[in-house]
Structure 1
Amino acid sequence: MSHVLFRLGRWAYRRRRLVLGAWLLLAATMVALAVGSGGQTNDVFTIPGTESQRTTDLLKRKLPAFGGGSAQVVFATHGDTRVTDHRQRAAIEQTMRRLRDVPQVGAVSDPFQAKAVSRDERVALGNVDFDDAPGNVREPTLDDVESAVRPARDADLRVEYSGSVYPGWRTEVSETPEIVGLLVALVILLITFGAPVAAGVPIATAVLGVLTTLMGVTAIAAFVNIASASTTVAIMLGLSCGIDYGLFILFRHRNNLLSGMDGEDSVGMAAGTAGGAVVFAALTVIIALCGLSVVGIPFLTVMGLCAAAAVLVAMAIALTLLPAVLGFAGDRVVHFLRLPGRPGWTERVARTAAEHPERARGAAWAGFVVRHRVPMLVGGVVLLGVLAIPATQLQLGLPSGSAKPTSDTQRRAYDLISDGFGVGANGPLLVVADGVRGDRDVDRIAAAVGKQPGVVSARAIATRDDVAVVEAVPSTGPNDPDTADLVHRIRDHRGEVAAGTGAHVTVGGTTASNIDVSTKLSGALPIFLIVVVGLAFVLLTFAFRTFLVPLKSIVGFLLSVAAAFGAQVAMFQWGWGEHLFGITPSETVSFLPIIMLAIIFGLSSDYEVFVVSRIKEAHGEIGPEGTKEDERAAVARGTGLAARVVTAAALIMFSIFVAFMASADPTIKAIGFAFAVGVLLDAFVVRLTLVPAVMAIAGARIWHHPAWFDRLVPDPDIEGRRLESERP
């Protein structure tokens, strides 16, 4: 493989105008397709195979008004005023009449007719049911909803919204995290390379790759439902992986130039050596992301495939466009920045790293780890183990309004509903009976549901032909485990609930749907982990030609991801970061663990490949008479050679993830925090500490493999050792 990559790099260098033109043409084509197709991402989520989804499908067919999204409109008074006062009641009734006329609204529940007025008469609760899924409710419709409540606001009533769709429910997508991440990446690359051109090249190529991917995804969105979050994850990984892969190859190229190699051979050798690590690192990330398809949830499958496409494009750009751009840049990548008062300092640092890597700080750290391998191994494992302890209390769920900041209308509505009607009114269940034969059957089912432990009230809210909808208000909140128990209890005793009616009873609604999503994701985690880890084990075994290195890599990943989960639980679930991050303690969002496992596993494999390929390269220089000390020296040398580039890559990833914590959305904050901590721990504690410590202890045994392995499995020469040995 190293020879193929060497020839590809040299070809791209020589044909740089053709390569650059081809990539620019591809990007322009994707932009044209995206604009021409009119494709847009959306937030239409389906969870096939769950009872809540079957209930939704049934309602869409037979009671369309209850088969889509819904909004709770909360009216509250100020001071001693009551919602039952003449002026306020007239304003609320007028508002509800206006809401009935809003496009896409299928049904409206007046709080006075439904007796949804608090005992102190300070809060009234109206419901608006849309005839389409939340993601399909158009923005003009929500603008009309906001206009319709104007009479209530004019009557000096507070109006707040909750539910699955309401005015302002969509999170505004900001480009600030990406911009901040790119600026931080530029600073890190300037420090790493000491040359402005060298710092700018990986960023420029990564941005072009992300643009190409993003436009391609947008074009496909004209024909396939693609969640808006898919583009966020694709941008996040496309930028970080694109910069990292470019950094790894460019670092080799820059060192080759400083060693006196001419530009064409330097690019070819960088592609043939570092390029092999890039290929296997990218393939491991792609496998992990494609593994999301085993979960069986469409929006996660699409999200994984979009992110995998971004990584694939990042790899292709690093192997083709980057060499071409380096051809245009020439020796300007070693034109160093001159700092006031310290002329020549950046060049001395760069030349020392290239010509005397043993003097670099990374080499000093690697030597320290190898010398103190046992205490460093024990200390690192203990540190990760302690951080992982809170992960044993991990609680999954989809955050309700209680997790929002107090500035958010959903949080204000949640608090008003809780005070006026009890916390369970924030997440009513929809018990749907199919096959009822009249009002008597409906009343019997409603009474049976109302007798269930944990149900405050149950009433029929709609009947059409042979289908009835009973709204059940739990005594506990939407994310309380007791509410999940209630849902399962009604389902388990559906025969008793529908006894004597001949109807089939199912439980749906937003709360039940969230419970089903969390249950399905929890059940899919072990399967996902086995599939992804198994495929990655095979790939890494092929890359490094040993079973022990992939096994060590997987154990290290499990330690780092468990520690990251523990930190996330402590900060966001237990509330240790409540004041630091400005959040309200809440359960861990249910899809975070599986996405985090995919992304952190992929990125940790990146760093594993980068570090171990350099160690293997140093190991290859040891003859058959090599001693244990020689093996340990090879571990220290290889880790030292990789330390600078892995440190820069990890800090870039970390900065991009941390930038997403600037979002006001607590879910995005939690995702950014978990990813940032996971990357930091995996890169610095696992890959640059535990990995060299373990390999120094194991010595040459870490590279052992059976004799049949050599006969049956070809050597991909990931570190480019054969390529370098054949150079004149």
Structure 2
Amino acid sequence: MAGLLDRLGRFSFRRRWSVAVIWLLVLAGAVTAAVTSEGPVNTRATIPGIESQDAFDLLAERFPDTPSDSASATLVFVAPDGGQLETPANQAAIEAVLATAAESPQVSRVVPPSAGTSINADGSNGFASVSYEVPSAEVTDESRALLEEAVEQARDGGLTAEMRGSALKSPTKMSATELIGVAVAALVLLLTFGSLVAAGLPLLTAIIGVAISFLGVWAVAGPLGMAITSGMLALMLGLAVGIDYAMFVVSRYQEERLTHDAETAAGRAVGTAGSAVVFAGTTVVIALAGLAVVGIPSLMKMGLAAAGAVVVAVLVALTLVPALLGMFPNRVRSRSQRRGTRTSPRVPVARGWMRLVRRRPLLVTIAGVAVLVAVAVPALSLQLGTPGDASLPTTDTERRAYDPRAEAFGPGSNGPLTVVVDARAAADPETAVASVADEIAATDGVASVSTPTFNAQGDTAILTAVPTTGPTDERTEALVNTLRDARPAVERDQGVSYEITGTTALDIDMAQKTQSALATYALVVGLAVLLLLVVFCSIWVPIKAAWPWRLRRARRGDNGDRGQRCAVPGRRGGVPRQGSGVSPVIRTGHRESAVRPGCGADLRGLPAATRPAGRRRPQRPATRRRRRGR
């Protein structure tokens, strides 16, 4: 491998202009393909193999005219000074507010607060529902602006008004975060290499690789049904590994230039550091492709898109980087190297640390294990779910709308369960559905059950069951399991079948599905360890590299930032919205269910402990060689 990469590095160095032109042509082709493609699609996220998804599919089949994935918003009103919303003045203010919200051409229906359903017992708190004809990703800024204007209008009228719902969630867009990261990386590289050209080269090659990857994902997103989040993950991960891998080669080139000419140094840099790049990239690709075992199509597409970005980053580091080194063979060197004042690698901090580790290996090992175990302990009480409005800061309007509704209507009002009753086989569907509703209402933990809503054929009904506990409460999960366990007896007695869905049930099902996939996903780590075993011909080195990753993954499972990065993209397709009579359930206080397998895909750190393998094997001292010769 090292010899092949050495020859590749020398070839790219000699044919630098040809290699650069080829990459520019690839970039131009990616631009052309992206411009002529339809781009990412707003696909409905599906999670096959869970009951919530089966219930949603049944809803789509039996209620075809109900847009279950359309956007919705909830406007929460609180009367001032303990007053009532049904006074003439407050009623007039609410009607004017809802008229403003309904001015959007995307609004399909507005349901005002009404006594007994959406106004609490003392009449001081209520909510209105606004349904849209389009999914949340297609709600325009003008429609959101009208919602904000309506809320401000209610506040001017003396009411306390807040809003929440899927209509407020803007689609994923490019942000300045990546640009800030590039700026910080440029500063770090400049301080590390001591050369503006050396610092800029990894950034330039990483940007070229990321552009090709992102545009490539954009081009195939339409035919493959990818959302924009797949491209965003490819961009972020491609930028990270692109800078990382190019930095290895450039740093090694600077060291080799102390004793070799430019072409030889480029070949040796690619042959040594490039070997580490190849194996590091291979482990990341294996991990990302392993997301397919989770059984969530959106995660699989994200993993494959990111894996493609990593492959491009590896190819760029092995070919384009040495080509650019050939264009600036001396400018890449630091000023001290060019002046001849530096004749050995400058790594005082690393050298001091390695002396400490070699002098006290047992102490360092115990300290490292203790720290990793300490930060991994919170994972023992980890609950999987989807962060919702209850986890937002109190400065956000979504949180300020969530809390009053929970206080006025009970904690379960923010997380109702949707029960889809299939009464096609029943002799009297209405009587059978009514019996199912009575049995569900009599179950401990159920606060109320709505009146059944039948489809046009009268053979399928929707019930909304409100739990007595909140969507993040473990008792709500136990209630869902209890209702499902009681289903066989109900089906036997009433001749009907039912399935439970809604955002709360979806989160529970997704968490269980993710948990069951973890054992299979362990094979991904096994493949990475096997790869390192082949490379190093050692059992201890792969194990030493893998077990700290296992503890890091446990720690990341309790990290909110990582959870957001790994979140399942797109709209929650298995969840009927308020426009169909079912309020979305927000499961808060939990980590994303996709965190654990998603963070498992981040195996970039796994080969970090093995990267010295990319260096030349040190020569034995002359005395030892002579002794062995004798």
TM-score of Structure 1 vs Structure 2, range by shorter chain: 0.7 to 0.9
Asked if 2 retains the 8 angstrom alpha-carbon contact of 1:117 and 1:125, the reply is yes
Tell me what 2:125 maps to: 123
Kindly indicate whether the alpha-carbon contact (under 8 Å) linking 1:207 and 1:239 is maintained by their aligned counterparts in 2.
yes
- Whether the 8 Å CA contact 2:100–2:146 is kept in 1: the answer is no
Tell me which residue corresponds to 1:301: 300
- Which of 441, 449, 455 is the matching residue for 1:458? 449
Matched, 1:239 2:242: no
Q: Contact 1:435/1:467 (CA < 8 Å) preserved in 2? A: yes
Amino acid at match of 2:355: G
2:517 to 524, 532, 542: 524
1:414 aligns with 2:405: no
Contact 1:74 1:413 in 2 (8 A): yes
2:41 equivalent to 1:53: no
| Offset from partner CA, 1:342-367 (integer Å, 9 cap, x none) | xx59978964316xx6xx22112111
Q: Which amino acid counterpart does residue 382 of structure 2 have in structure 1?
A: L
Report the CA distance shift for 1:192/1:147 in structure 2 as closer, same or farther (over 3 A).
closer
Alignment partner of 1:550 is 2:551: no
Aligned-partner Cα distance in 2 for 1:174–1:80: 44
CA 1:585–1:435: 2 relative to 1, 3 Å: closer
SS at match of 2:469: coil
Which of 583, 591, 595 does residue 592 from structure 1 map onto?
Answer: 595
Check conservation: 1:289, 1:305, Cα contact below 8 A: yes
Alignment of 1:145-164 (within 5 A): 155-163=157-165
In 2 relative to 1, CA 71–495 (structure 1 residues): closer, same or farther, beyond 3 Å? Answer: farther
- Counterpart CA distance in 2 for 1:625 and 1:564 is 47
**Separation in 2 of the partners of 1:61 and 1:391?**
40
Measure, in 2, the Cα distance between the counterparts of 1:224 and 1:148: 40
1:474 is aligned to 2:467: yes
**Are the aligned partners of 2:423 and 2:432 in contact in 1 as well (CA < 8 Å)?**
no
Mapped pair 1:606 → 2:616: no
Distance 1:130 1:451, change over 3 A: farther
Q: Residues 418 and 424 of structure 1 are in contact (CA less than 8 Å); yes or no, is this contact kept in structure 2? A: yes
Match of 1:334 in 2: 333
Distance 1:488 1:2 in 2: 56
Change (3 A) 1:172 1:131: closer
Q: Deviations over 1:446-497 (max 9, x none)?
A: 2221111111111125221211111111111111111111111111112344
CA deviations over 1:116-137 (Å, ceiling 9, x no partner): 2112212212334556655566
Distance change >3 Å, CA 6–CA 438, structure 1 → 2: same
Compute the displacement of 1:233 (Å). 2.4
SS at 1:407 equivalent = coil
Gap change, CA 1:148 and 1:34, over 3 Å in 2 = farther
1:537 equivalenced with 2:529 (yes/no): yes
- Post-superposition offset of 1:203: 0.8
Counterpart CA distance in 2 for 1:564 and 1:145 is 37
1:78 CA displacement: 3.0
- The corresponding residue for 2:267 is 268
Between the two structures, name the one with larger relative contact order (CA 8 Å, sep ≥ 6).
Answer: 2
The answer to whether residue 19 in structure 2 is matched with residue 31 in structure 1 is no
**Could you report, residue by residue, the CA deviation over 1:666-721 in whole angstroms, capped at 9, with x for unpaired residues?**
xxxxxxxxxxxxxxxxxxxxxxxxxxxxxxxxxxxxxxxxxxxxxxxxxxxxxxxx
The one-character-per-residue Cα deviations of 1:617-665 (angstroms, maximum 9, x if unpaired) are 23x7479969xxxxxxxxxxxxxxxxxxxxxxxxxxxxxxxxxxxxxxx
Name the structure where helix makes up a greater proportion of residues: 1
Q: Distance in 2 between matches of 1:24 and 1:475?
A: 61
Report the Cα distance in structure 1 between the residues aligned to 2:328 and 2:242, rounded to whole angstroms.
18
Q: Distance in 1 between matches of 2:216 and 2:255?
A: 35
CA contact (8 A) 1:537 1:551 kept: yes
- Following the alignment from structure 1 to structure 2, what is the Cα–Cα distance between the partners of residues 399 and 372? 43
1:279 pairs with 2:291: no
**What secondary structure, in the 3-state scheme, does the structure 2 residue paired with 1:617 have?**
coil
The one-letter code of the counterpart of 2:369 is: V
Corresponding residue of 1:651: none
| 1:492-537 C-alpha deviation (Å, 9 max, x unpaired) | 11234456542211111122112211121111112112x2112112
- Aligned mates of 1:390, 1:122 — CA distance in 2: 41
Identify if the C-alpha distance between structure 1 residues 367 and 200 changes in structure 2 by more than 3 Å, giving closer, same or farther.
Answer: same
C-alpha contact (below 8 Å) 1:65/1:107 kept by paired residues: no
Is 1:371 the counterpart of 2:371? The answer is no
Aligned to 2:258: 258
Secondary structure at the counterpart of residue 49 of structure 1: coil
Could you tell me how far 1:155 is from its partner in structure 2? 4.7
SS at match of 1:161: strand
Provide the alpha-carbon RMSD of the alignment: 3.1
Residue 692 (structure 1) aligns with: none
CA drift at 1:329: 1.3
Which residue is equivalent to 2:221?
A: 221
Structure 1 position 28, deviation (Å): 2.4
Q: 1:129 to 1:497 in 2, by over 3 A?
A: farther
1:440: how far off? 3.0
Whole-angstrom CA distance in 1 between matches of 2:394 and 2:447: 27
Equivalent runs, 1:554-633 vs 2, <5 Å: 554-565=546-557, 586-599=589-602, 602-614=603-615, 617-618=617-618, 621=620
Task: Find the residue that maps to 1:352 and give its secondary structure.
Answer: coil
Q: Secondary structure at the match of 1:170?
A: coil
| Cα distance change, pair 345–202 in 1 and its aligned pair in 2 (3 A) | closer
Q: Where in structure 2 are there 5+ consecutive unaligned residues? A: 565-586, 626-630
Q: Distance in 1 between matches of 2:251 and 2:599?
A: 28
| Count of equivalent residues | 595
Structure 1 residue 26: deviation in Å? Answer: 1.7
> CA distance change for structure 1 residues 92 and 507 in 2, over 3 Å: closer, same or farther?
farther
Contact 1:71 1:129 survives alignment (8 Å): yes
What is the TM-score with the length of structure 1 in the denominator?
0.75
Of 472, 477, 482, 1:484 maps to: 477
Match of 1:686 in 2: none
2-side partners of 1:533 and 1:243: how far apart?
24
Query: Could you tell me which of 345, 357, 366 is aligned with 1:353?
Result: 345
Equivalent-residue separation in structure 2 for 1:469 and 1:350 (angstroms): 77
> Which digits, 9 at most, give the CA deviation of each residue in 1:385-414, with x for residues without a partner?
222222211111111211012232221111
Alignment partners' CA distance in 2, 1:121 and 1:528: 52
**Deviation of the 1:306 alpha carbon:** 1.2
Aligned equivalents of 2:541, 2:385: Cα separation in 1: 36
**Closer/same/farther in 2, CA of residues 317 and 161 from structure 1, 3 Å limit:** same
Question: Would the aligned equivalents of 2:437 and 2:463 in 1 still touch at CA under 8 Å?
Answer: yes
Q: 1:435 maps to what in 2?
A: 423
Contact 1:73 1:162 in 2 (8 A): yes
Maintained 8 Å contact 1:387/1:564 = no
Q: TM-score, normalization: structure 2?
A: 0.86
CA positional deviation for 1:541: 1.4
Contact 1:71–1:128 under 8 Å retained in 2: yes
The equivalent of 1:5 in structure 2 is: 5
1:86 aligns with 2:78: no
1:16 paired residue number: 16
The one-letter amino acid paired with 1:279 is V
Equivalent residue number for residue 571 of structure 2: none
SS in 2 for 1:495: helix
Identity of aligned residues (%): 36
8 Å Cα contact 2:104-2:142 kept in structure 1: no
Worse-superposed segment, 278-287 or 430-439: 430-439
Q: Which moved more, 1:202-211 or 1:226-235?
A: 226-235
Deviations 1:155-211 (A, max 9, x none): 544443334x12x21266453321221122112112211111111100111011111
> Deviation digits for residues 76-117 of structure 1, max 9, x if unmatched?
333344221124335545766887896666665443176221
Change (3 A) 1:469 1:191: same
